[in-house]
Chain A
Amino acid sequence: MVSIRTEEITKRFGDVVALDGVSLNVREGEFFALLGPSGCGKTTLLRVIAGLERQDEGRVYFDGRDVSDLPPHERRVAMVFQNYALWPHMTVFDNVAYGLKLKGLPKEEIAEKVRWALRLVRLEGMEDRTPFQLSGGQQQRVALARALAVEPEALLLDEPLSNLDAKLRLEMRGELRKLQRELGVTAVYVTHDQEEAMSLADRIAVMNRGRILQVGTPAEIYERPANYFVADFIGQSTFIPGTVRSASGEVYEVETNLGVMRAVPSTPGSDFHPGEEVILAVRPENLRLGCGRGSNEVEVKVVHVAYLGKHLRLLGEADGIRVVAELDKDSEVGSGETVRLCADPEDVLIIRRS
């Protein structure tokens, strides 16, 4: 198991900057997700770690050892590709055994390790099948078994579940996490699916336009987004633009079109000065109907109410601002009504505009 550190990695493809000075620490045995929209550079970063792309600037360290100049196979990592990259001219056994054969292991040991790896992914007895004879989920497991068979120090996964249907994807998530924990292997997981990243990873790095915008646990990322992009990309929020008026301790007063609102900085310790243009973000579950003393109040015209089982999702509008709220399922609200929604100051987060 290794820790992985990238230091100021820059990678360009022609005029396009795919990675722009990316520094990252992945701890030993950690399940780490790279999350971001398409084209944000997450796959390129994974490929740089794997040694499949050569960075233009910066270094990659495994356990503090500089591996920047090592070819892929000397880094002792294994990768699972989005399309699985199973060799169609080989059987399941040959696919899984390929890496072991290249290591020059004796035949019996290869057979034993292949059996072990296939058992891990619950595909015993499928050795003689070809990839064509497997379902999507089974192909995915073979790809995983092939990666695990070589007992890599780090497992790199590039959107490995994106080609599976929703139900299978949920199932595989659980299995993947369980396997990673059992084996204790460091895993770097690329995805654009925030729910997948939140449910799988110990920590997440949110990326956009070749940069890392925030690194943190799923809770930190969700509850304390570092900037507008992260708050917008992860989950849903109501965003209210405003101008800082004054501060008293951690709580700021912000002038908005919906009135003066009391809010706290998204990331603790951030400092805002009076007159600074900011954005206030409120998560849907932090908006409620009954207002208490000292909470912020907003008058919202209800556009649509959706029943989601446990709760109601309210979509509304307040002075041109789109409002999303999750209300108790017994709440009595209907489309076209005007309601007052409230949020406590500690649930209204101040985010810098840029």
Chain B
Amino acid sequence: MSRDPLILGMLAVSLGLFTAVLLIPMFEIVANAFWYQGSPSTYWLEYVLRDPFYFPVSAWVDGRVPFLHLEITTVGSPYTIRGDTLIISGVDYGVILNTLMVAVTVTLISTAIGVTLAFFFSRYSFPGANALRTAMMVPILTTPFVGAVGLRRMISIHGTLNTIFYDYLHLLPYRVVFDGLAAVILVQSLVFYPIVMINAYATMVSIDPTMEEQAEIFGSSGFKLFRTITLPLAMPGIEAGSLLVFILSLEDLGTPIVFQGSNAEKLLTYQIFTKIFSQTGLILPEGTALAFYLLFFSMVAFFVIRKYVALKQYAMLSRGGTWRPRTRRIGAARTILVYAVSLTILFFALLPHIGVILLSVADTWGPSPIPESFSLKNFRFIVEDHLTFSSVRNSLIYSTVATLIIMVVGSGAAYVVSREGGRWSEILNYLATMPIAVPGIVVAAGLFYTYSATPLNPVINPAYLLTLAYSVRRMPFTVRSAFAGMLQTHVNLEEAAWNLGASRTRAFFNVVVPLVLPNVIGGAMLSFVYCMSEVSTSLVLGGANPAFAPITWKMADILYSLGGGQFPTAALGVLLMSLQLAAIVGSNVLLKQRVSALVGA
């Protein structure tokens, strides 16, 4: 490791921030989970596993047969029929298994959809392919929280879908209502599939076409070619996308909050959330044990991404030669099939967006496909209601400051990782991407616990902790983007400056910064919007003092505290979506590349 003051300074600042805002809070949570009555113990971890509410599994060894017997007590059935209504809510296997089951199911559905679409767009050429591909990525413009608000209205008993398909078209034998865990799975799958699609697509278009041509010469084609060559070669990208979806599903708090009331609240994030009493700064020990389990599942997925997936960078083997993207023109019948599949998915994927937009401009909305009357009163409410307006302003301030921290620390971290070898650089490399894998609710609980007896106590003013939490949680977007820029900026360019007498610091600011600035700004714009739409830390820390609360806390607050709260909530959601759209477009223009590099794992 270099002893240069620039490198040491960057290393110290970034390690300091990650330690204070990520590692210590995580350690506090884990330590508390392993603490009982003043000494180390697994009491709370076992306590949680003994409570059928969390883990209704009983295991015993039968004396006569030397096998472990397992029995899971489940509640409810996958669906129930009440009158003319089919309610799909999913079976309750207890909080821990529910969380894993939801995450696995969402991952499988997102992967199936994402890989199918990626295959269409990377291997077939047909009229309108590019436009369709862009449209299929639209769902990424929303977070599950905002999406859930919109989708809940669309799929409710008298929602748009039932009104059209049951009341008007009589295409359905029942009114279909998704509720509870099933609704969570639906929302998350619709919002997350583009992550797999983008990653799989990026890998599929980077597969050297000769790999498939060689197989074709031997007579391989169609599904056989896909199964034996294309799919295995695309696996690193698909796995990275899928595992990222798994982590995002695990940590989603917004959707269970929106669909609470049936069994949607029987998920780890929601349960941890309810164990934190933000007004007093108290966290039930049971909550820390649950947070430990959530963190454990998430970290396992993270380490699999880092270790297993990184080892299989197949693209590296290819050498020499040039290739054109390998797409095959398809006939009318297959084009129709591709459109039918894509548009069906897109129809459902856009329901949350349509729902939230309609809600935001609705005056009243009864049992009809669209609101009976329209109005801008929900947007007026944002401006006129003092606390709501200040929540938007707070979010803008926290996110702007956090983004500035992200730009400085993130660029520094990316510089150190890209230019320096050694143990500290490797540690920083891990830390800079780790926030992806630490569920927000764990960070929030940890921060609360760690800093409640300090001047940073969120009950006094959550602004500082919120800003720090945002900056660390959304750092990976900028670090990844800046790192890509650093790799493209050959070290020779800096060496040439050193050679002419510039110090390392001077060369960094004169040569490196101007060259990677577009990457840093591009990444920072994404970091900014994800700060704005951050849910878990905002709810936990922001809830400690509503006067300083950010926008997402206000959305959750309005959603359940006012009559017809979904309308202004949706207006706030539309505001967030617009910001997200502007930032993604802006970032793409700056980086002149697909969103893939930034949202991919």
Contacts and interface: CB of A to CB of B under 8 A. Distances in A.
Contacts of B215: 87, 98
A81 B323 CA distance: 12
A89 B216 contact: no
B214 interface: yes
A87 B225 CA distance: 12
B208 interface: yes
B210 A83 contact: yes
A131 interface: yes
Contacts of A163: 319-320
B548 to A, nearest CB: 53
A50 B216 CA distance: 10
B232 interface: yes
Interface in B12-50: none
A99 B225 CA distance: 12
A88 B208 CA distance: 11
B317 interface: yes
A266 B459 CA distance: 96
Contact of A89 (B224, B233, B320): B233
A162 interface: yes
Contacts of A77: 217
A163 B320 CA distance: 7
Interface in B165-213: 208, 210-211, 213
B229 to A, nearest CB: 6
Contact of A83 (B217, B224, B232, B321): B321
Contacts of A89: 232-233, 235, 312, 314
Interface in B404-419: none
Given A79-B214, A81-B210, A83-B210, A88 B317 contact: yes
Contacts of B312: 89
Given A52-B217, A98-B215, A150-B218, A88 B314 contact: yes
Contacts of B217: 50-52, 72-73, 77-79, 99
Given A131-B317, A162-B320, A163-B319, A85 B211 contact: yes
Interface string B294-325: 00000000000000000010100111110000
Q: Is the interface of A mostly helix, strand, loop or mixed?
A: loop
**Which size class do A's interface residues fall under?**
20 to 34
Nearest to B315: A88
A10 to B, nearest CB: 19
Interface string A72-116: 111001110111111111000000001100110000000000000
Contacts of B211: 85, 87
Nearest to A83: B321
A162 B321 CA distance: 10
A102 B213 contact: no
Contacts of B317: 86, 88, 131-132
A85 B214 contact: yes
Given A85-B211, A87-B229, A89-B233, A73 B321 contact: no
B218 A83 contact: no
A52 B328 CA distance: 12
Contacts of A72: 213, 216-217
Contacts of B210: 81-83, 85
Contact of B220 (A52, A79, A83, A102): A102
Nearest to B318: A83
B5 interface: no
Interface in A118-163: 131-132, 136, 146, 150, 159, 162-163
Contacts of A132: 317
Contacts of A103: 219
14 contacts: A51-B217, A72-B216, A78-B217, A78-B218, A79-B213, A81-B213, A82-B321, A84-B319, A89-B232, A98-B215, A102-B220, A136-B319, A146-B214, A159-B320
Given A78-B217, A85-B208, 15 more contacts: A71-B221, A72-B216, A72-B217, A73-B220, A81-B213, A81-B321, A83-B319, A87-B214, A87-B215, A88-B314, A98-B220, A99-B217, A136-B319, A150-B218, A159-B321
Closest 10 CB pairs of A and B: A73-B219, A99-B218, A85-B210, A89-B232, A85-B214, A82-B321, A81-B210, A72-B217, A88-B314, A102-B219
